[in-house]
Amino acid sequence: MAKQITTARDGFATRLGVLAATLGSAVGLGNIWKFPALTGQNGGASFLLVYVLATLLVGLPVMISEIMLGRRARANAVGTFRQLAPKGQPRHLVGLSGVVAAFLIMGFYTDVAGWVFAYIFKALSGEIATTDPAVAAKAFEGLVSNPVQSLLWQWGVLVLISVIIIAGVAQGIERTTKVLMPVLLLLLVAVCARSLTLPKAGEGLAFLFTPDFSKITPSVILMALGLAFFKLSIGMGTMTTYGSYFRNDQDIPLTATRVMLCDLTISILAGMAVFPAVFNFGFEPSAGPSLLFMTIPAVFTSLPGGQVFMVIFFCLTAIAATGAMLSLLEVPVAWLAESFGMPRKRATIVTSVTLAIIGIPATLSMSTMANVKIFGMTVFDLYDFMSSNVLLPVGGIFICLFAGWVWGAANVKTELSNRGQLLNGAIISAFLTVVRWVSPVLVLLVLLKGLKVF
Ligand code: PHE
Residue 172: per-residue pLDDT: 64
Cβ of residue 205 lying under 6 Å from some atom of ligand 1: no
- Report which protein residue has its CA nearest ligand 1's atom 9: 233
- Residue among 23, 31, 157, 231 whose CB has most ligand 1 atoms within 8 A, to mutate: 231
The minimum-distance atom of ligand 1 relative to the CA of 101 is 9
> Residue 12 C-alpha to ligand 1 middle, in angstroms?
20
> Residue 341 C-alpha to ligand 1 middle, in angstroms?
26
For residue 255, give the nearest of 10, 80, 16, 9 by alpha carbon: 16
Ordered per-residue pLDDT tens for the chain, 454 residues: 443 344 445 467 777 777 888 898 999 999 999 999 999 999 999 999 999 999 999 999 999 999 999 999 988 788 888 888 888 777 777 788 899 999 999 999 999 999 999 999 999 999 999 999 999 999 999 999 999 999 999 999 999 999 888 876 667 666 777 777 888 899 999 999 999 999 999 999 999 999 999 999 999 999 999 999 999 999 998 999 889 888 899 999 999 999 999 999 999 999 999 999 999 999 999 999 999 999 999 999 999 989 999 999 999 999 999 989 998 998 888 888 878 899 989 999 999 999 999 999 999 999 999 999 999 999 999 999 999 999 999 999 999 999 999 999 999 999 999 999 999 999 999 999 999 999 999 999 999 999 988 8
160 alpha-carbon distance from chain centroid? 19
The minimum-distance atom of ligand 1 relative to the CA of 31 is 4
Residues linked to residue 374 through DSSP beta bridges, in sequence order? 377
Buried b (16+ CB within 10 A) or exposed e, 216-235: beeebbbbbbbbbbbbbbbb
> Residue 199 C-alpha to ligand 1 middle, in angstroms?
34
The minimum-distance atom of ligand 1 relative to the CA of 238 is 11
Residues linked to residue 377 through DSSP beta bridges, in sequence order? 374
Residue 405: per-residue pLDDT: 95
The minimum-distance atom of ligand 1 relative to the CA of 325 is 8
Residue 170: per-residue pLDDT: 65
> Residue 290 C-alpha to ligand 1 middle, in angstroms?
19
The full DSSP string for 347-405 is HHHHHHHHHHHHHHHHHHTTTTTTT--BTTB-HHHHHHIIIIIIIHHHHHHHHHHIIII
CA dist 38 and 451 (Å) reads 18
- Report which protein residue has its CA nearest ligand 1's atom 6: 233
Neighbours of 142 (CB within 10 A): 12
Cβ of residue 28 lying under 6 Å from some atom of ligand 1: yes
* Domain range summary for the chain, segments of one domain joined by +: 3-450
- Residue among 38, 62, 233 whose CB has most ligand 1 atoms within 8 A, to mutate: 233
Tell me 237's DSSP state: S
Residue 142: per-residue pLDDT: 97
Neighbours of 343 (CB within 10 A): 10
> Residue 25 C-alpha to ligand 1 middle, in angstroms?
6
Residue 108: per-residue pLDDT: 98
CATH number corresponding to 3-450: 1.20.1740.10
For residue 57, give the nearest of 393, 360, 426 by alpha carbon: 393
Cβ of residue 276 lying under 6 Å from some atom of ligand 1: no
Are 149 and 370 in contact by the 8 Å Cβ rule? The answer is: no
